Amino acid sequence: MIHKQQLINRFISYVTIDTESNPNSITTPSSKNQWELAHKLVDELKSIGMEEVTLDDNCYVMAALPSNVDFEVPVIGFVSHMDTSPDFTARNVKPQIIENYDGKDIVLNERENIILSPSYFDDLLQYKGQTLITTDGTTLLGADDKAGICEIVSAMEYLIQHPEINHGKIRVCFTPDEEIGRGAHHFDVEKFGADWAYTMDGSQVGELEYENFNAAKAVVTIQGKIVHPGYAKGKMINSQHIATDFINSLPRLEKPEHTEGREGFFHLSSVQGGVDKTVLDYIIRDLDKNIFEARKEMFTKLATEINSQLENNLVTVKLTDQYFNMREKIEPVMHIVDIAEEAMIAAGVTPIIKPIRGGTDGSQLSYMGLPCPNIFAGGHNFHGRYEYIPVESMQKATEVIVKIANLTAEKYQL
């Protein structure tokens, strides 16, 4: 069993480093602070006995644990990302440790009356009696995905300290900028050299995922004309009103707050503008490729329709594909999902096999030739002040990594 305090100490040492990625940056990594965690991980991986430890010019950390068996075993990998979401600040994270959680409200910040309550977040009740790590209500926590990093490093350390556990060669990689969709953009699959891998980037204990959304970004730009409102008749074109028409013309219930399971959505992530110009940033998501394409087409058709009612083509749409459903790349090698499921059961975890309502580095890596399902890291309420993680879930995730390594070796033993 992985020691709880060891996990707590390691996790806190990671989350107190601000690694928020920046979607407006054109550099890799998108924020300088990610280098701080990368250098720390390089030192730590070397100190626990990992080999082939490298940090490249794009801030990708890689390392290897050599095989300890005398027969050939496929090389497997484990991947997590170093950055945190720009949706909410990661500056000056102050983790709080709640031991033996009693199932009641948790006061994150008394001064600002910020409460983490099971009456709203009922998944908390699964973890009565466990040790929780929460925020102080003013930042996110960073369990997405520093919990995954913590679990991978801890599992490698455990395997090094327990050479009686058979395993083949294992590769690990920690990536920058996953939260802004660039985590795999400079991933050197050939250098990594694994036959398959797992991202440790899921949420609730037991999650095992080999499907994810097809994803696109849509930027809708509406041009208006601004003149003095006292002389505006027949002259002013208020781009904000046109933007409102565009927003209201999309299916009202096909939004994240109204969908679940396999249902896709349109999500308006930001609005910037005034009378003269308004820009709408959308993300488009669907598990079904055909419906995904139809969703994108809806944007272009809607722009054409609105433009036909105006004197000029004032509405433009720029669509950019971000990633695709990994399922078609995983199904031909479903044994890698079977191994993860078997490892969970061996660790006393009930597998929850379901689609990811989002994406991971693994979705892009799968299309780059590295099949890469996703496994739980244990956190909840990512990207905001109510984020928390049970330490016991981190223990289980670490144990699952160890079990996967051992099971893979056992299945290939002559």
Residue boundaries of the structural domains of the chain: 4-211+325-411, 214-322
pLDDT given at position 414: 66
The sign of the CA dihedral 260, 261, 266, 270 is positive
pLDDT given at position 1: 72
CB crowding 375-399: b at 16 or more within 10 Å, else e: bbbbbbbbeebbbbbbbbbbbbbbb
pLDDT given at position 174: 98
Condensed to tens digits (0 to 9), the pLDDT of residues 175-191 reads: 999 999 899 999 999 99
pLDDT given at position 243: 96
The sign of the CA dihedral 364, 365, 368, 372 is negative
Helix (H, G, I), strand (E, B) or coil at 95: coil
127 DSSP 8-state letter = G
Cβ-defined contacts of 289-297 (< 8 Å, 24+) = 289/214, 289/324, 289/325, 291/264, 292/214, 292/216, 292/264, 295/216, 295/264, 295/266, 296/216, 296/218
Which residues of the chain are modeled with pLDDT < 50?
none
The answer to whether residues 210 and 330 touch, using CB atoms and an 8 Å cutoff, is: yes
Ramachandran region of residue 291, left (φ > 0), alpha (ψ -120 to 50) or beta?
Answer: alpha
What is the pTM (predicted TM-score) of this model? 0.89
φ, ψ (nearest 5 deg) of residue 272: -135, 130
CB crowding 258-287: b at 16 or more within 10 Å, else e: ebeeeebbbebeeeebebbbbebebbbbbb
Place of tokens 């490892």: 343
The fold of the 4-211+325-411 domain, in CATH, is Aminopeptidase (3.40.630)
Give the containing element (helix H, strand E) for 121: none
The fold of the 214-322 domain, in CATH, is Alpha-Beta Plaits (3.30.70)
Name the residue type at position 84: T
- Active-site residues, by number, are 83, 178
The answer to whether residues 95 and 388 touch, using CB atoms and an 8 Å cutoff, is: no
The answer to whether residues 367 and 289 touch, using CB atoms and an 8 Å cutoff, is: no
Give dist(CA 157, CA 159) in Å, integer.
5
